[in-house]
Amino acid sequence: MKAIAATKNKGKIREMREILSPLGFDVVSQQEIEIDIDVEETGDTFEKNALIKARAVAMVCDYPVLADDSGICVDALGGAPGVRSARYAGDNATDADRINKMLAEIGGSENRGAKFVTAVAFIFPDGKEITASGEVKGHITKEPMGDNGFGYDPIFYCDELGKTFAQSSDDEKNSVSHRGRALKNLYDKLKNMEEEQL
């Protein structure tokens, strides 16, 4: 069964496809079925934003729809930037701008705990909604390290990997990825639903 990913991010779509294909879902991007919707994410939680995106696409198609919202939550910043991670340093900021702002705001604080969080929302054509989330814990380094990845990866030291995401290979990062964990949790919920219907 076809499921529409409410995103234009090819990396996200590939990950969604890999995890959900064993349940018989062929995940395709909204562009592939010519849906061009950009939704304003006005929610104050990752789950609310994922649902806002999924509902917007679900209103204009008859397929299951999948959407996610992700961000970084930093202890020293009271959990910020959270849902504002992408817009943390302004709308046209670069990754370097966001990193520099975060390092400046944390300053010399020893309280550098942080986590990446993803919430995913899945909406069936009949309107039934399922959400799931995943996270990976770590801390913010005092300076960027590594050349891989994107966003906050150079300053997010992953406790499980023992290095920053930007120092990790794609396979290493994917093995602990917050989005991967959220999608696996969603997979478990969908599988349980499927088994209950048998």
- The residues annotated with a catalytic role in the active site are 69
Are 19 and 189 spatial neighbours (Cβ–Cβ below 8 Å)? no
User: What own/partner pairs with CB < 8 Å and gap ≥ 24 does 124-132 have?
Assistant: 124/64, 125/58, 125/62, 125/63, 125/64, 127/58, 129/51, 129/54, 130/186, 130/189, 130/190, 130/193, 131/47, 131/50, 131/51, 131/186, 132/182, 132/183, 132/185, 132/186, 132/188, 132/189
Contact present, 157 and 163 (Cβ < 8 Å): yes
Handedness of CA 43, 44, 48, 53 (dihedral sign): positive
**Contact, 137 vs 73, CB < 8 A?**
no
